[in-house]
Amino acid sequence: MRPRIIELAAAAALITGCTLGPTYERPAVELPAHWTESPPKGVKAPAARWWTMYDDPALERLVEEAFASNQDLALATARVDEARALSQIADSRRVPAVDASFERDRVRLSERSPIPLPPSAIENNSYRAQLNVAYEVDLWGRLRSASNAARAELLASEANRETVRIALTTEVVRAYFALVAFDAQVEATRRSLALRGEGLALQKVRRDAGLINEFTLRQLEAEVAAARAQLPALEANRTAQELALAVLLGRSPRAIMEGAVERRAGQGEPAAPVVPEGLPSDLLLRRPDVVSAEQLLIANNARISEARAALFPRIGLSGYLGSESTALSDLFSGPAAIWSLGFALAQPIFQGGRLLAEVDAVKARERQAVAQYQKTLQEAFREVRQALNTQVKAREAFEAESVRTVALEEALRLALIRYRNGLLSQLEVLDSERNLLQAELNRSDALRVQRAAVADLVKALGGGWEGFEPAPVAQNK
């Protein structure tokens, strides 16, 4: 008899450890052999605190402020906490549930009942204390699959939080350098206006002396007014950018209205180009948004097992152990002991096709998750290649604008010499000043684009992946 019991227990344990769904396998992906369009020289793609490569202490402080106060990141963190709690709930269903209860009743019976009762039995007390236990035998792995799915969803939410963190860092970097570029453009425009204003004042003296006519003076005034009209738009854009950055930093409404965003005084040097040298192409499989998509795929795969197990019998065990007595002093005496053991078997017979439809729905969600995973991976490689190309071209544009600015500075210097010698008119000098101002504005914008392109590449490579290694997920067996 004993060997038979051991065989049945072993069989039950074996069945309990199995699930009815497919074993998860990562979808096959054809990865590139190497990175294309990468600059030959530059810094290796950083993985931790990558924003420090700009060597800007003000920017570093703003990034830390955003980590502490940004509401999108706070929302993502709260969702991780929710997913963690749901995972714990799913795990708790796999262990017995135990609770204790205590009851006290006082009952009075009728004195006019068909069966006469002695006076002592008309009113009586009842005390009951018991420990209740309930447990579902996970015969087909339904609870195990639900726990695996919840665990995968937790990992997906953690990956989503990391995605938000990387995106937030990139947006702060982009917004910060856009603000620095607006500062430089406003300053260049004001310098140009000061020079043109001095020149216009001189020409008014010359007009009063009869050396130039009214028509020439009005043309000069129009040129100065055209430059002055650029300044309000630049200042308005700078204010809008500063406010947008303040919101990214998570500042309070009062700080947004009254505060200012710290930034460096000058524009500084362009960021060194980033190269993914030495990084394998399957690095992008660890990019947080790709990890999230895969974990959701794992979760849906586990949900298939959970849905299929609902078609099979459920076995529940229950029982209680306690004491019951009419006197509190006798409640825990030997004769007052009570106990119960229960076994329940439930098998769905007719549900109108609901259970089979639920299985089909979960399978469809898994196919959706596969498509989303493939799309996310495709988008990741597209972003990397585009960012690699953009950072190279943006640096070329910045270098070209820098050469142009130097050439126009020299051209303006020569124009002023020729003007003082009477070889050029003031209008030709103003034309040189206008070209120089536009070149300075273009150079500032090209520098902003170059820095943003470097940040976009680090983001596309999954910047911040160091230390982000999701825990392994228990697979269906």
Q: Decide: 181 and 448 in contact? Cβ < 8 Å.
A: yes
Query: What is 20-107+136-312+363-460's CATH number?
Result: 1.20.1600.10
- Alpha carbons 224 and 430: distance in angstroms, whole number: 9
Nearest Cα neighbor of 451 from 249, 237, 176 is 176
Distance CA 87, CA 268 (A): 48
Neighbours of 329 (CB within 10 A): 8
Q: How far is CA 475 from the centre of its chain?
A: 26
Q: Which residue from 289, 308, 259 is spatially nearest to 69, judged by alpha carbons?
A: 259
Task: Give phi and psi for 129, each to the nearest 5.
Answer: -130, 130
Spatial distance between the Cα atoms of 315 and 336, rounded to a whole number of angstroms: 30
The per-residue pLDDT for 9 is 41
Q: What angle is formed at CA 348 by the lines to CA 344 and CA 354, rounded to 5 degrees?
A: 145
pTM for this one? 0.81
What radius of gyration, in Å, describes the C-alpha atoms of the chain? 38
pLDDT at 37: 62
Which pLDDT value is given to residue 42? 67
Cα 94 to Cα 85: distance, rounded to the nearest angstrom:
15
Task: For the chain, give percent helix, strand, coil, nearest 5.
Answer: 65, 10, 25
Q: Please say whether the beta carbons of 180 and 448 come within 8 A.
A: yes
Q: Tokens in use for 142? A: 């339904």
* Amino acid identity for residue 297 in this structure: L
Q: Which residues of 168-190 are buried (b: 16+ CB within 10 A; e: fewer)?
A: bbbbbbbbbbbbbbbbbbbbbbe
Q: Where are the alpha helices (DSSP H) in 352-425?
A: 354-420
Alpha-carbon gap, residue 296 to 318, rounded angstroms: 35
Distance CA 282, CA 454 (A): 21
What are φ and ψ of residue 305, in 5° steps? Answer: -60, -40
Partners of 337 in the β-ladder: 323
CB within 8 A of 410, min separation 6: which ones? none
Q: Which residues contact 192 (CB under 8 A, 6 or more apart)?
A: 227, 433, 436, 437
Coil, strand or helix: which one is 295? helix
Q: Would you say 450 and 398 are in contact if contact means Cβ atoms under 8 Å apart?
A: yes
User: Which residues lie across from 340 on neighbouring strands?
Assistant: 320
| Per-residue DSSP letter, 322 | E
Sign of CA dihedral 134, 138, 144, 146: negative
Per residue of the chain (477 residues), what is the pLDDT tens digit? Answer: 444 434 434 444 444 445 676 788 888 777 776 666 666 666 776 767 889 888 889 999 999 999 999 999 999 999 999 999 999 999 999 999 999 998 888 887 777 777 777 776 777 888 889 999 999 898 888 999 999 999 999 999 999 999 999 999 999 999 999 999 999 889 888 888 887 777 777 667 767 766 667 777 777 777 778 778 888 999 999 999 999 999 999 988 888 888 888 888 777 777 777 776 656 666 777 889 999 999 999 999 999 988 998 888 888 988 888 888 878 777 778 788 888 888 888 888 888 888 899 899 999 999 999 999 999 988 988 888 888 888 888 888 989 989 999 998 898 888 888 877 777 776 777 778 888 888 888 999 999 998 899 899 888 888 755 555 544 444 444
Q: What angle do CA 316, 317, 319 make, to 5 degrees?
A: 140
* Cα angle value 355/359/361 (rounded, 5°): 110
